[in-house]
């Protein structure tokens, strides 16, 4: 199966979480998904939501209007926060005639057109529901048997269900199934639904770090080979800031953290450099040596 | 001083309450029956003492001005557990967003990072600046050295329209 989708990266991936972008760009085409970049880089509106709800909706609608320019009906949004912000905006534009008329008018000033029919995907449901577990499994050339992993699906792609989310709110399974498709094991654990805390970096950074540190500490206690994430904010908190997070909870943290697409890339036998694995700040080497052994 | 103590000295303002209800566009704040399901699962409860059920109650009673001026509304982590679990669709998270928007309108205690993000978007389209990162071996990298494509900033017309959007209430 081959599909072509537009892709919107948001801010965090484009500005610092390069490993996620590199691994998505490498892995998805190998699984039959061709990616088309939007004309411009833009914020989805997430930090604006707290300042002005309407302006946040406008930014998200502008993202959808940029996607409309590609002529493709599907938009991949690999960031959980962007995925939620755009979904909320879609709902507001659909349900509120006044908001809709204003936003459509503002986009017109720039010659852009809002298209309500663009479907928004995340990496997880695109691979699980559209590409399919079978195809993912078939593409695996280097099974990751023997790896024991914990998954962190994040908050905003599973809540709240009324909005139409990527997986079940209280018992998400798709990410675990994708991990298992590589031959690795994915364990269940008590803290699975705990939040990474990233939003608080804007107002209470110490608390944000202790939320992240607390979760990493708990996962470390499971004696797993690593923690798998699929959102740049979670990657930032658990991987890039793991050391700092450790000091806020008084623990020495050394848990390998990697993106789901990096893990899939390993199973597809893609070179580590191409997957950005040199960029992870957590000690992924211990996991990588197990994979290449 | 706790939130409840603060309110014992305040007077409800029903006009401000109306404002919040209008911002919520039909989300049923009024149906909250104080079951505390939201607070029992709230990510910000333990470390920052955010109690979403109290926010609901206080807005319903009309103590909106006090809430909009308070730091407590900036402790929500946006984990959305309260929206998911509320049996009455009273959406504490959305109430908190409405209160934050009101705080901005009133130029109350808004954490600087939010306003900075807005001006960064105005300038470049993105809320964050492109960063140099290092590998585990301490080699510096950026988009170019990693062979990631350059994606252009928004076209010129964007700024004026975004400014207009920011003036909407
Ligand atoms: S907001 Fe919902 S969950 Fe929270 S106390 Fe009210 S009814 Fe219960
Ligand atoms: S969204 Fe905010 S108020 Fe609701 S449960 Fe999460 S942290 Fe608490």
Say if residue B54 is in the same domain as residue B91. yes
Residue B2 has what pLDDT? 60
End-to-end CA, chain B: 31
For A163, A196, A208, A248, B122, the CA distances from B101, given in Å and listed in that order, are 22, 24, 22, 31, 18
Residue B26 has what pLDDT? 73
Give the Å distance between the CA of A116 and the centre of ligand 2: 29
Say if residue B24 is in the same domain as residue B55. yes
Residue B10 has what pLDDT? 81
Residue A1 has pLDDT above 80, yes or no: no
Give the Å distance between the CA of A113 and the centre of ligand 2: 34
Cross-strand pairs, A33:
A3
Write the burial class of residue A40 (CB in 10 Å: 0-12 exposed, 13-18 middle, 19+ buried): middle
Q: Does B161 sit within 8 Å of A18, measured CB to CB?
A: no
The H or E element that residue A23 is part of is: helix A18-30
Confidence band of B1 (pLDDT split at 50, 70, 90): very low
Give the Å distance between the CA of A139 and the centre of ligand 1: 46
Say if residue B96 is in the same domain as residue B120. no
CATH code at position B39? 1.10.1060.10
Say if residue B97 is in the same domain as residue B131. no
A171 Cβ under 8 Å from any chain B Cβ = no
Distance of CA A40 to the CA centre of its chain: 20
Quote ipTM for the complex: 0.95
Residue B5 has what pLDDT? 64
B96-122 in b/e form (b: 16+ CB < 10 A) is bbbbbbbbbeeebebbeebeebbebbe
Question: How many angstroms separate the CA of residue B135 from the nearest CA in chain A?
Answer: 4
Confidence band of A139 (pLDDT split at 50, 70, 90): very high
Say if residue B60 is in the same domain as residue B141. no
Say if residue B56 is in the same domain as residue B18. yes
List all residues of chain A from 137 to 166 with a beta carbon under 8 Å from chain B.
155-156, 159-162
C-beta atoms surrounding A60 within 10 Å: 30
- Interval B63-117: pLDDT, tens: 999 999 999 999 999 999 999 999 999 999 999 999 999 999 999 989 999 999 9
Topology (CATH) of A140-292: Rossmann fold (3.40.50)
Question: How many CA atoms lie less than 13 Å away from A25 in the CB half-sphere?
Answer: 20
CA distance A154 to A26: 23
Say if residue B46 is in the same domain as residue B90. yes
Nearest residue to A15 via CA among A229, A235, A258: A235
- Interval B4-59: pLDDT, tens: 666 677 889 999 999 999 999 877 788 999 999 999 999 999 999 999 999 999 99
Q: What residue segments make up the domains of chain A, in order of their start?
A: 3-121, 140-292
- Interval A203-228: pLDDT, tens: 999 999 999 999 999 999 999 999 99
More confident residue, A105 or B11: A105
Say if residue B141 is in the same domain as residue B160. yes
Say if residue B10 is in the same domain as residue B67. yes
Which of B78, B105, B132 is the last residue before a domain boundary? B105
Residue range of the domain that includes B83: 3-105
Mean pLDDT of A51-56: 98
Question: Looking at the 3D structure of chain B, how many domains does it have?
Answer: 2
**Residue A67 near residue A6 (C-beta atoms within 8 A):** yes
Asked if A3-121 and A140-292 have one fold, the answer is no
* CATH number belonging to domain A3-121: 1.20.1050.140
Say if residue B39 is in the same domain as residue B95. yes
Q: Does A47 sit within 8 Å of B118, measured CB to CB?
A: yes
């Amino acid at each position: 199966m081959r599909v072509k989708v537009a892709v919107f990266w948001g801010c965090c991936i484009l500005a610092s979480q390069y490993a996620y972008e590199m691994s998505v760009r490498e892995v998805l085409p190998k699984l039959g998904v061709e990616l088309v970049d939007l004309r411009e880089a833009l914020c989805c509106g997430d930090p604006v939501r707290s300042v002005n709800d309407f302006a946040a909706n406008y930014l998200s609608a502008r993202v959808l209007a940029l996607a409309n320019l590609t002529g493709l009906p599907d938009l991949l949004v690999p960031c959980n926060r962007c995925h939620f912000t755009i979904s909320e905006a879609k709902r507001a534009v659909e349900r509120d005639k006044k908001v809709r008329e204003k936003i459509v008018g503002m986009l017109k000033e720039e010659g852009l057109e809002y298209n309500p029919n663009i479907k928004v995907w995340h990496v997880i449901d695109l691979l699980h529901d559209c590409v399919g577990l079978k195809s993912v499994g078939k593409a695996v050339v280097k099974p990751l048997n023997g790896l024991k992993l914990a998954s962190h699906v994040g908050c905003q792609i599973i809540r709240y269900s009324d909005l139409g989310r990527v997986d079940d709110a209280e018992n998400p399974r798709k990410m675990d199934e994708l991990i298992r498709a590589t031959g690795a094991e994915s364990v269940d654990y008590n803290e699975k639904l705990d939040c990474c805390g990233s939003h608080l970096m804007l107002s209470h950074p110490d608390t944000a770090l202790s939320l992240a540190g607390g979760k990493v500490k708990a996962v470390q206690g499971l004696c797993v080979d690593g923690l798998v994430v699929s959102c740049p904010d979670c990657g930032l908190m658990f991987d890039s800031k793991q050391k700092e997070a450790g000091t806020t909870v008084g623990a020495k943290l050394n848990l390998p953290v990697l993106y789901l697409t990096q893990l899939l890339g390993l199973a597809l036998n893609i070179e580590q450099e191409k997957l950005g694995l040199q960029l992870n700040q957590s000690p992924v080497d211990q996991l990588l040596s197990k994979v290449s052994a | 001083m706790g939130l409840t103590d603060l309110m014992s000295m305040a007077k409800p303002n029903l006009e401000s309450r109306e404002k919040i209800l209008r911002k919520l566009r039909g989300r049923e704040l009024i149906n909250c029956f104080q079951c505390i399901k939201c607070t029992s699962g709230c990510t910000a409860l333990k470390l920052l003492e955010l109690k979403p059920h109290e926010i609901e109650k206080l807005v319903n009673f009309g103590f909106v001005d006090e809430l909009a001026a308070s730091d407590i509304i900036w402790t929500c982590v946006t984990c959305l557990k309260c929206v998911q679990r509320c049996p009455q669709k009273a959406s504490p998270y959305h109430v908190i967003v409405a209160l934050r928007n009101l705080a901005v309108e009133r130029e109350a205690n808004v954490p600087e990072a939010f306003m900075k993000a807005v001006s960064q978007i105005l300038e470049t389209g993105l809320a964050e600046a492109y960063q140099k990162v290092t590998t585990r071996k301490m080699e510096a990298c950026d988009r170019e050295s990693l062979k990631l494509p350059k994606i252009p900033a928004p076209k010129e017309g964007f700024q004026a329209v975004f400014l207009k959007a920011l003036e909407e209430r």
